[in-house]
């Protein structure tokens, strides 16, 4: 379902909230507001939020305490900190606790908009979910799920490298859980108590990536009203995880190579050489060897990153792990959605085994959430699966053999039926409470109202 992202502004000064709201409403997003951390948590309970912009100093619950509670709920929800000049050290502490970025007051509007846009892109590009609790019989210390032969090979590598400072390259298709492995490597190393800083390289515009990595000095460019440390500085003594490393522009790769090899760099616009010690973990869904052959990735950087390689298998190569993965996601969504689903019926699980899973574990997670939400009985049957999956299970004709125009029309009609069915069921589950239904569907209330109007559904 398409939707407008929602940004939550948290500040105890009404004038500041009005200024920020007026600025952000020029963007393709909706704005929510809260006067302190307590109100912000209430908003998070009642609505879907994609980015939080919060002041540090507030009554009742300050920004740091709010950040800790947000990270505990959803470590992948971008949290941007607003801070005065005198509290930059506190803002850096917030970054180490999991904040996405920070900006100092008074701020340039272009700088704020750039950070919020980057945060929204990171939500769209993010391929990871927080580490799940490990079920009995699995590798508890890695918090990964699966006992297939393919996963046993992953565990064997983690056993050897997790406690070391060795550089690790994690490869695998989107949705296989590369960040889970990066977090596991950090959590089981001697650096576990030190910072873990993640950078999604795919979400950073190429003109900003150098300042993102290495920071910048005041006056280095228009809008740089104060100095700011980069991700390498923030990760000093700990782990730096560069996700989607294959997206780094070629001209930036030589600077990254120098920082990795020499453990030193200069901020943008700075003259002083800074020295850091970080453990580097990178991840990509690209074939970097092929990128080297194509000339889009430096060969020397590739060999520097590829000290130890961990390949995460796609879900279709470890279908024997489907039952424990399904059980884990059912337990998670039962708790989140207030349901009591017991599991999958055999025919439904058989259909899951036949599916190709192009979106891997992330696709499975989304599927299980939908099934838990809308299943009519205590167990999920084949009728509760998406129509495309049910059709495949029943032996429907190969789509490649169908007429393209007819197939396109059928797909559009099927999508509309599924969307109508989802909205209708959500409204029934919530007794036609539009706000709660929007929360279940993970869209904004305004988006749900628009879809209901387009589909001819009325609010009670």
Higher per-residue confidence, 3 vs 387:
387
Among the residue ranges 64-78, 147-161, 268-282, 303-317, the one predicted with the least confidence is 64-78
33 compared with 445, residue with greater pLDDT = 33
Token code pair at residue 316: 């279709």
Residue 141 has a pLDDT of: 63
pLDDT attached to residue 134: 40
| Domains, the chain, with CATH or none | 6-125 (3.40.50.2300), 140-313 (3.40.50.300), 317-396 (1.10.8.60), 402-460 (1.10.10.60)
Residue 103 near residue 122, CB atoms below 8 Å: no
- The tokens describing 82, both together, are 């607003």
Backbone phi and psi for residue 136, each to the nearest 5 degrees, phi listed first: -55, 140
* More confidently predicted of 170 and 424: 170
- Of residues 132 and 155, more confidently modeled: 155
- Lowest-pLDDT choice from 33-42, 123-132, 268-277, 350-359: 123-132
Q: What is the pLDDT of residues 338-355, one digit of tens each?
A: 899 999 999 999 899 989
CA dihedral 124, 125, 131, 132 (to 10 degrees): 50
Q: Which of 77-86, 308-317, 331-340, 364-373 is the least confident region?
A: 77-86
pLDDT digits (tens, 9 = 90+) for 289-332: 999 999 999 999 999 999 999 999 999 999 999 999 999 999 98
Please give the average per-residue pLDDT across 38-51, as a whole number: 89
Q: Does residue 256 carry a pLDDT above 90?
A: yes
pLDDT at 20: 92
Rounded to the nearest 5°, which phi and psi values hold at 31?
-115, 130
**Dihedral sign for Cα atoms in the order 220, 224, 230, 233:** positive
Q: Check whether 286 has a pLDDT greater than 60.
A: yes
What are the helix (H) ranges across 162-281?
A: 178-187, 209-214, 231-234, 250-262
Q: Looking at the whole model, is its pTM more than 0.85?
A: no
Instruction: Give residue 45's pLDDT band: very low, low, confident or very high (50, 70, 90).
Output: confident
* Better-scored residue on pLDDT, 242 or 73: 242
Mean pLDDT of 238-250: 95
């Amino acid at each position: 379902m398409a939707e407008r992202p929602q940004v939550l502004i948290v500040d105890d000064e009404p004038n500041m909230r009005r200024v920020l709201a007026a600025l952000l409403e020029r963007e393709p997003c909706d704005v929510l507001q809260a006067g302190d951390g307590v109100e912000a948590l209430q908003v998070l309970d009642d609505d879907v939020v994609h980015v939080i912009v919060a002041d540090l100093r507030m009554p009742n619950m300050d920004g740091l305490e709010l950040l800790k509670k947000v990270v505990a709920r959803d470590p992948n929800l971008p949290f941007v900190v607003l801070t005065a000049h005198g509290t930059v050290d506190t803002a850096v502490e917030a970054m180490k606790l999991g904040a996405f970025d920070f900006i100092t007051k008074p701020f340039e509007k272009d700088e704020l908009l750039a950070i919020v846009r980057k945060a929204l892109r990171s939500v769209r590009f993010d391929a990871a979910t927080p580490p799940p609790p490990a079920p009995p019989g699995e590798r508890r210390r890695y918090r990964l799920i699966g006992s297939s032969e393919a996963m046993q090979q992953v565990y064997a590598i983690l056993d050897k490298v997790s406690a070391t400072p060795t550089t690790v390259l994690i490869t695998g298709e989107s949705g296989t859980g590369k960040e889970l492995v990066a977090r596991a490597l950090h959590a089981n190393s001697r650096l576990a108590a030190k910072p873990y800083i993640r950078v999604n390289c795919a979400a950073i515009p190429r003109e900003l990536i150098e300042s993102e990595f290495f920071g910048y000095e005041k006056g280095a460019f228009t809008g740089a009203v104060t100095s700011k440390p980069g991700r390498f500085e923030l990760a000093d003594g700990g782990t730096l995880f560069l996700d989607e490393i294959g997206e780094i522009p070629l001209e930036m790769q030589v600077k990254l190579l120098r920082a990795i090899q020499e453990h030193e760099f200069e901020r943008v616009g700075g003259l002083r050489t800074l020295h850091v010690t970080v453990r580097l973990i990178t991840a990509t869904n690209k074939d970097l060897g092929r990128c080297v052959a194509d000339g889009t990735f430096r060969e020397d950087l590739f060999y520097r990153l590829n000290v130890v390689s961990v390949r995460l298998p796609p879900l279709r190569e470890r279908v024997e792990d489907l039952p424990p993965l399904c059980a884990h996601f059912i337990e998670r969504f039962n708790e989140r959605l207030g349901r009591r689903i017991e599991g999958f019926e055999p025919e439904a699980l058989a259909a899951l085994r036949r599916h190709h899973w192009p979106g891997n574990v992330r696709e499975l997670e989304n599927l299980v959430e939908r099934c838990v939400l809308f299943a009519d009985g205590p167990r999920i049957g084949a009728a509760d699966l998406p129509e495309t999956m049910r059709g495949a299970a029943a032996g429907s004709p190969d789509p490649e053999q169908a007429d393209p125009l007819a197939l396109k029309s059928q797909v559009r009609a099927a999508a509309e039926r599924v969307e109508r069915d989802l909205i209708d069921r959500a409204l029934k589950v919530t007794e036609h409470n539009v706000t709660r239904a929007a929360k279940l569907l993970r869209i904004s209330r305004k988006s749900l109202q628009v879809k209901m109007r387009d589909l001819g559904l009325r609010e009670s």
